[in-house]
Amino acid sequence: MKKLIIALALLMSVSAVAGKKATLGGFDGFVERMGAGTRELGRGNTGSADTASMPAAYWNPAILGFRENFVYTLNAEKRDLDRMGGSLGLETKVGKRMGVGFAMLYRGDLNFDVINEDDETMGTATPYFTMMYLGFAYRATRRDAFGISLSMSYDNMDISEYYEGIELVDDYRSPVTLNLSWLRQWNDKWSTSVVIRNLSFSENLSAKWSKNTSTDNSVESTDGVRPKVLQIGVGYRSKIAGLPVYAWMEALDYQIADTLLAFDPDLHVWTGRVGFECEVIPDGTLRLGMDDLDWTVGAGYKFQIRIGKKKYPFDVNYALIYETEAGIWTPLSFGLRGSIP
């Protein structure tokens, strides 16, 4: 029985992707594998170099320095294998040069079979994971902004009820981690960004902690860890045949070693993202992108509601994902974004 519990705990703490990329996973890996915003997901999960990306506290907290109004975003998606997720973001301007924002990401499994060591199904569980971000930004110049966000996660395996005689712990909280960022809008066409994710206050700045599966230490503990991430983004804006066209590119380096800096290439995983979008009709946008080997397409439309003398703009977005390695289509990703003047 103890072996079974350890196996379940490990399942929640590693990715299903083979090779070094498994180290990027963890239940926390949902944050990287599933998009935080439907608009950004539809163009290859790119968002760090775009001042309109939301929730900014996740994508790049420096974006908050460019906010002019109170803005919000709400996203939801349902994936195959009974997996679902969503995000919420609230952001506003503070003073003339600062911004603040909150983001919460949710990921969960539905009808997760709990099987004992005799291969008998004991029931189903609904494990879930949430991660919260609190971001701050300062716009140093008209074109430059610097940001920082504090993040913390909570996950629950939802299996303790099936085990008698063992004081099993379902829920875990991570320590607070730091994300640092910079964004520059060079001109009307080009923008660049740098984001450093998953730093901590511990030795080597590594976001690592122990997960004690049982209160009486009868089950072996496991380690929770988030790799340090260097994310570099580039954005380009132009027009083709009179239509606004945008291109977004991101390069990511995951350091999978519990050291301050590792120069061994075997301790790094590199990946990239690319996305394109075009406003094909007034207020209507089509998107195409690629996140590592996963293809995405998306669409969005902007609306306005007039209440009295004020206009309240909002847009509705949709994304479809094809996960190449798994051969899985995900057709149910929707998002709502808006601002309040």
- At 89 the pLDDT is 97
Percent of all residues in the chain with a pLDDT value above 90, rounded to a whole number: 53
> What pTM, to 2 d.p., does this model score?
0.87
Q: Indicate if the pLDDT at residue 136 is higher than 90.
A: yes
Provide CB contacts within 8 A for 196, sequence distance 6+.
179, 180, 181, 228, 229, 230, 231
- Structural contact between residues 249 and 273, judged by C-beta atoms closer than 8 angstroms: yes
Mean pLDDT confidence for 72-93: 90
Q: How many domains does the chain have?
A: 1
pLDDT band of 24, cuts 50, 70, 90: low
CATH of the domain at 334: 2.40.160.40
DSSP string computed for 91-156: EEEETTTEEEEEEEEEEEESSEEEE-TTS-EEEEE--EEEEEEEEEEE--SSSEEEEEEEEEEEEE
pLDDT at position 109, please? 81
Q: Report pLDDT digits (tens) over 311-329.
A: 899 999 999 999 888 788 8
pLDDT at 14: 35
Q: How confident is the model at residue 337 (pLDDT cuts 50, 70, 90)?
A: very high
pLDDT digits (tens, 9 = 90+) for 274-289: 999 999 999 999 999 9
What residue numbers bound the domain in which 274 lies?
2-340
Q: What is the pLDDT of residues 283-311, one digit of tens each?
A: 999 999 999 889 999 999 999 998 888 88
